[in-house]
Structure 1
Amino acid sequence: MPGTASSTPRKLSTEAKNTLWNHGIYQFGNALAGVFISLYLWKLTNDLWINGAFQLIMLLSAPIATVYIGRIAKIKDRLYAYRAGIYLTALFYVLILIVQERMVDYYVWFACLKGVSTAFYWLGNFTMISDVTDNENRHKYLGWNAMVTHVANLSGPALAGLMIASFSEMKGYILVFGFSSLMFVLASVLSLHIKKKPTHHTAYYLKYTRLILKKRPDFTRSLVGWFIIGLPQGIMMYVPAILLFQVLPQESWVGYLNAFFLSLSIISSYILSVKGNEASTNAYLSLAAWGFVGSALVLLWDISLWTVIVFMCVSSLFKPLQANTYTAHYYQLIGDMPLKENFRIESIVIRESVINCGRAAGVLLFMLTAGQIDHVWLPWILVLIMFMQVFIRPLIHKTI
């Protein structure tokens, strides 16, 4: 039967499984400490602007780093970017262990290092996704990738919350950052088992981006979509954790609740890994967008514990649906480009740069309008940014 092959996704290769395993370890290390970086800065300064500035500097440094490491990845191998990202992330947490509460004095440099390390890792990781999957099994891989990510993100904050609750003052935070560093060391070692992919095309085509954007309006529209997707992500990196911290008795509960929210994302990711298919791209994007809008509308009623929990629950359910669907669409679009896989690294560089600009724009918009946790404009800004997700579906010009 002609439709049989396409209806059953092909099995993942050993290389794909190894990549998933190492990504899980990296994400677990990030999840252990990532949520609590914002709370650590908040406890040291009690200033949301410092948190916002940290996120903004991190996000603006990432595109610059992405362009640089993209050239190295193209000339040599994407593993250079991948491993450098893991090494620099480990360095980030080791330096926090060294300076501890003096991190506030150097938060600009820490933000730059976090942005560079994140950019390096994700460029390598997204490029390898293209290498180890194809159109037939990419939804399957991305579904499992999301589940691995969410399991790591679920267990990490829960364990970190337990550590912080078990020790007085800042000792729990230091223990969390130390354990995270060990996870990145382990990921560094295991990354040595991932094989390089030889290539005969080492020319870096990023300089032709403007020409490609003119010739391929569908590619241009896809980048607009990435910018829109990035808008709420920048705010969601730090504001929800601080919102929860304000209404909960202990910061350890922030970790426990994050674990619960991520369990919802795991369920959503699993369903997508089993049922997801390319033909339903439009339906998935519409459903996710209106789900985001509904989650934000609850905050107009009140900023309280129950409304924040409802907001996070609903958005956690729809986040994997949007992210995985649009990522799969983008990879398919890359495959249809004139240069095909020879433009793969450049397309990831462009994608990462655009989405980080979107995240930075979201943070900047929040800082200039709401600025503080108790500001009256906070829920309205979130509703506006979530409503903008509705415009992503028309950008891909597909029919259901």
Structure 2
Amino acid sequence: MEQGNIRAKRGGRINSSSASRKEWTQVRPSTGGKLDAQAVLLLAVNALYAISNALSGTFLPVYLWKASGSYLLIGWFSFGQFLAGGLTFWLAGKWVKEGNKMNSLRLGILLSGLFFLTVLLLGKQATRYGVPLGMLSGTAMGFYWLAYNVVYFEITEPDNRDRYNGWAGLLGSAGGMIAPWISGYLITTLHGERGYRLIFTLSLIIFGVACVLSFWLRKREKGSERYSFSYGFRRLQEKGNPWRRMFAAVMAQGVREGVFMFLVGLTVYIATSNESKLGNYTLLTSLIALVSFWVIGKRLTMRNRNVAMLAGTLLLGVAIMPLFWGVSYSMLLMFGIGTSLFMPLYIIPMTSRVFDLIGSTEEGASNREEYIVLREAALTLGRLIGLSGYLILLPINHSEQAIVWLMFIVGIMPVAGWYFMRPFLLAPTYVRKTR
């Protein structure tokens, strides 16, 4: 392993080598860095991207299910989406590192718009192209999130990363609160197909605004080294490399996401048969998430990350329990409220610490693109594992109780993520003095 890599030691602590400590200074838990103008602008671009996706993406599984009546179609759409997204991360890493990462960000936004335009033009015929449409959506997300994560890493530091993620979660919750409610109202008022066409069109417009706004983000410098397609995976082969634990932790996060990203909204609609109620559901749960992200984002520090993440993982599992009493709208509301309250405790430390690890050594910072691709590989693998469980279970048993048990099993996977993350949460964080 390269000099300066962090290695796990006794007691679950993670330390850097003596050579590295000459170049890196420990970040004290008491520091509270503010966000600069570029960070605020990136938050704005990402908020618009999230709003556009929330406006149409929340109802896309419903739209496909109503047109096909097939639960498997939604699963295969998501499978194509996750697979294409992971491959795009890996292949586009070379462009982002050696070329213009801001163009990758913009291409992701434009392809997202193209995806919704395609669905708009196909109408109900979109059900015949579930996997290709999923792959188009995944490719768009791959280009966008790869560039976004690299830029996010470059404009934040360990002492303001929790603050940034708190604001990102707050803005995402605000968009997730208002946009789906508007969509549900429009779809119900305009009686279905006309409403779907309108919200897909609105998504296109907002994607366009986000793309224009991105031109005010400064052009980021190219990486000083060549991109290596196998770099991150070679790190996993090294005994004692901290990324072996981090990879497992992120993969556990992906297992949950692979099912919950599409199944929750679809389940709410099937339980109510009403898009407006799905909009009301997202309005309430996102409002609670907004407040939760704001409060936790302000109070979370490097000192209390470990306790916060453990509490979050356990409470996310408890939040699923009401569904065992029945998948009704009221039980789904209890589940959604619990998830909205406790998710920030889990996801903020999870996101912040993985990027802290990337920036904790000069080797990590100079190969940030490869490590971000490695993180996405873990997420993709986890999502495909979780989704595979759904695709295997459904043809065998698609009863309400079977689906709830699947949600519970994948929903408690964050506990495994906390276990693998624990040494990183307890360790001091180092950052280059010159950054």
Alignment correspondent of 1:292:
316
Instruction: Check whether the contact 1:66–1:120 (CA below 8 A) recurs between aligned residues.
Output: yes
C-alpha separation in 1, matches of 2:93 and 2:184: 36
Report SS of the residue matched to 2:94: helix
* Cα distance, 1:58 vs structure 2: 0.8
C-alpha separation in 2, matches of 1:355 and 1:158: 29
C-alpha separation in 2, matches of 1:274 and 1:235: 30
Return 5+ residue gaps in structure 1 as ranges: none
Alignment correspondent of 2:303:
279
User: Structure 1 stretch 35-44 or stretch 211-220: which is displaced more?
Assistant: 211-220
C-alpha separation in 1, matches of 2:245 and 2:364: 18
1:169 and 2:192 aligned:
yes
Alignment correspondent of 2:367:
343
Report SS of the residue matched to 2:306: helix
1:233-258: CA deviation from partner (whole Å, max 9, x where unpaired): 11112211121112225212101211
User: Structure 1 stretch 335-344 or stretch 39-48: which is displaced more?
Assistant: 335-344
* Cα distance, 1:338 vs structure 2: 5.0
Alignment of 1:1-400 (within 5 A): 6-199=29-222, 201-213=224-236, 214-337=238-361, 339-370=363-394, 374-396=399-421, 397=423, 398-399=425-426
One-letter amino acid matched to 1:100: G
TM-score by length of 2: 0.87
C-alpha separation in 2, matches of 1:96 and 1:266: 30
1 or 2, which has the higher helix percentage?
1
1:65-120: CA deviation from partner (whole Å, max 9, x where unpaired): 11111110001132122111101001111111211111112222111100100111
* Cα distance, 1:308 vs structure 2: 1.6
User: Structure 1 stretch 296-305 or stretch 124-133: which is displaced more?
Assistant: 296-305
* Cα distance, 1:188 vs structure 2: 0.9
* Cα distance, 1:4 vs structure 2: 12
Report SS of the residue matched to 1:12: coil
* Cα distance, 1:18 vs structure 2: 0.6
Report SS of the residue matched to 1:9: coil
Quickly say closer, same or farther: Cα 1:207–1:247, change in 2 above 3 A: closer
One-letter amino acid matched to 1:385: V
Quickly say closer, same or farther: Cα 1:215–1:82, change in 2 above 3 A: farther
Q: How large is the RMSD of aligned CA atoms in angstroms?
A: 1.9
One-letter amino acid matched to 2:82: L
1:184-223: CA deviation from partner (whole Å, max 9, x where unpaired): 0111111111111223514113422233221553211111
Quickly say closer, same or farther: Cα 1:38–1:249, change in 2 above 3 A: closer
Quickly say closer, same or farther: Cα 1:226–1:352, change in 2 above 3 A: same
Instruction: Check whether the contact 2:271–2:327 (CA below 8 A) recurs between aligned residues.
Output: no
Return 5+ residue gaps in structure 2 as ranges: 1-25, 428-435
Instruction: Check whether the contact 1:370–1:376 (CA below 8 A) recurs between aligned residues.
Output: no
Instruction: Check whether the contact 1:243–1:373 (CA below 8 A) recurs between aligned residues.
Output: no
User: Structure 1 stretch 245-254 or stretch 3-12: which is displaced more?
Assistant: 3-12
Quickly say closer, same or farther: Cα 1:324–1:97, change in 2 above 3 A: same
Report SS of the residue matched to 1:205: coil
Sequence identity (%): 24
User: Structure 1 stretch 207-216 or stretch 45-54: which is displaced more?
Assistant: 207-216
One-letter amino acid matched to 1:306: S
C-alpha separation in 2, matches of 1:20 and 1:215: 37
C-alpha separation in 2, matches of 1:288 and 1:18: 29
Instruction: Check whether the contact 1:228–1:358 (CA below 8 A) recurs between aligned residues.
Output: yes
